[in-house]
Amino acid sequence: MYRVILLAIGLLFVPMNSQGAVQGESSGKKTLLAGAVTSNVTPQLGLPVIGGFKPFPATHVHDELFARCIVLDDGSQRIAVVIVDILGIPREVTDLARLQIEKATGIKFGHVLIAATHTHSAVTPRGPRGVFWPDEISDHSKFVARRIADGVQRAVNQLEPAQIGWGRTTLPGQVFNRRWHCNDSGVTANPFGGIDQVRMNPPRNHPSLDRPAGPTDPEIRFLSIQSTSGRPIAVLSNYSLHYVGGVSRGHISADYYGYFARYLEQKIGAQQLEPAFVATMSNGTSGDINNINFRPNPGGKRYAPYEKMQEVAEKAASKVAEAYQDVKYKKWVPVGARQNDMVLKLRQPSEEMLKHLREVVKLPADKFQSHKQEKVYAERIFKLADAPSEVEISLQTLKIGETGIAAIPFETFAETGLEIKRESPFKNTFTIELANGWYGYLPTPRQHRLGGYETWLGTNWVEVEASDKITAQLLRMFESLAR
């Protein structure tokens, strides 16, 4: 109902024509059109940086944050993909941006994909209550939505005849499953007085480490878009790496995603083009993946701030640049989109959990019973008393020729992304997580049984079977697009 009302409001403002943009089909000949821009979304200093358990004010901008916007038009359908340097974007904010885009450009609400990179060095886009269900929209989030909408409108203004191709490569040495089976209950305690089977980010080389709890996805898949003369317009890449980190406290940074964009531009010789080339790295299914090797070689390198993210970005950009040379281009492909809402139940705390947390909050600030973050989770879970019983999420699929893109508004586990790739009817498939909303982690039912940070109520909010329901729905939407 929430989305239906917003969409109805937006339809009142849809222009009859697309602001005089170039048409994608003329004289019976099909032409693909493309346009891409970057739109600056760097926040003002003093706003709270989110990415850990306790926010702190932004004191410096190390590198600017952007919304990287790509628009494709096949002559009858038009889609937009926007990747934003931010931790996550609540649905009320992405819906606001999509309505503004529809009003300004005529691109349908459900044809716009807006996703976060998940940099941990950006200002929170959440409302004043800081919840994962609908909240007020903060002034900063209104600014982000407006800049996204402006970026898409500018990309539409730059639509030109284009060609498109697909590529893939692998970078296995930079992705590690961060959930480990451990043989020490002291390592796997949780904030609710219980013991889990796995630990997120365990101590490195700890004697209790047994084995990772799930797979990784080492692929980088990408779309390359050029003008018909061969001038690079944009590259949209996808890699299942959570983020890298190593940022100085109080700094604003796009993390490795920003460095990747700069390095790829250099490696393919796309500097100082007019219009400017846009490189972007989207976040795949990395809810249980990071860049930490928990069994490193003794005497491993210690990195200075920003050094590790530069190293990861350089390796990723080098791999994509190498595969880029072999891309075969098509002058026209069909594009399309599907969007469906899904209602998911919010999980509820047990009486046993509430009893434990009520005792926890009575303890002095520096004391805890079983886990040092008990009070953080008590605060989160007590908010459920005022929460709705369910949330309505947005699921989306895009078709770009032989490429299918799934959009999930959660931090999604790698095994879910691998299943979607395996079962998709499209030759080239990838998933962009944290898209069109932000509802926390999405463990599979199997991972829920193992426990660990990503499964805790207060980190994960929705029903245990949610990942299975979402995967099944996305595959049905892919089948519809493929037909």
Residue 372 has pLDDT above 80, yes or no: yes
pLDDT of residue 24: 56
pLDDT score, position 6: 47
User: Residue 105 and residue 17: Cα distance in Å, rounded?
Assistant: 8
Amino acid 28: pLDDT: 58
Is it the case that residue 200 has pLDDT exceeding 70? yes
- Band the pLDDT of 51: cuts 50, 70, 90: confident
What is the per-residue pLDDT for 451?
Answer: 98
Residue 12 has pLDDT above 50, yes or no: no
Residues 376-389 have a mean pLDDT of: 95
Is pLDDT at 14 greater than 80 in this prediction? no
Residue 366 pLDDT:
86
What's the pLDDT tens digit per position in 158-192? 999 999 999 999 999 999 999 999 999 999 999 99
User: Which string of DSSP letters, residue by residue, matches 290-323?
Assistant: ES--SSPPTTPPP--TTHHHHHHHHHHHHHHHHH
- In percent, the amount of the chain with pLDDT more than 70 equals 94
Type of residue at 131: V
Cβ within 8 Å of residue 323, ≥6 positions away: 167, 168, 169, 220, 222
Write down the mean pLDDT value for the chain. 93
Residue 26's pLDDT band, with cuts at 50, 70 and 90, is very low
Predicted local distance difference test score (pLDDT) of residue 296: 78
Asked if residue 65 has pLDDT above 70, the reply is: yes
In this structure, what is the dihedral angle of CA atoms 11, 14, 16, 21, given to the nearest 10 degrees?
Answer: -150
96 and 139 Cβ atoms separated by less than 8 Å: no
User: Would you state the pLDDT for residue 15?
Assistant: 37
**pLDDT for residue 433 is more than 60:** yes
Answer yes or no: is pLDDT of 421 > 50.
yes
pLDDT of residue 54: 85
Q: How would residue 118 be classed by pLDDT, with cut points 50, 70 and 90?
A: very high
State yes or no: pLDDT of 235 exceeds 50. yes
pLDDT band at 301 (very low <50, low <70, confident <90, very high): confident
Candidate from 1-5, 29-33, 463-467 with smallest mean pLDDT: 1-5
pLDDT at residue 195 is higher than 50? yes
Label the pairing between strands 232-239 and 209-212.
unpaired
- pLDDT of 298 reads 65
Mean local confidence (pLDDT), 421-440: 98
Tell me how far CA of residue 421 lies from CA of 81, 311, 417, 430, in angstroms: 19, 28, 6, 6
Task: Summarize the confidence of residues 195-199 as an average pLDDT.
Answer: 97
**From 156-160, 265-269, 372-376, the region with the lowest mean pLDDT:** 372-376
Q: What is the mean pLDDT of residues 306-320?
A: 98
Q: Which residues contact 264 (CB under 8 A, 6 or more apart)?
A: 235, 237, 270, 279, 317, 320, 321
Phi, psi of 20 (to 5 degrees): 75, 20
Mean per-residue pLDDT, 342-356: 96
pLDDT at 351: 95
pLDDT the model gives residue 155 = 98
Portion of the chain with pLDDT greater than 90, in percent: 88
Task: Using the predicted structure, report yes or no on whether residue 20 has a pLDDT greater than 90.
Answer: no
Is pLDDT above 80 for 427? yes
d(CA 113, CA 178): 28
Q: Is pLDDT of 471 > 60?
A: yes
pLDDT greater than 50 at residue 16: no
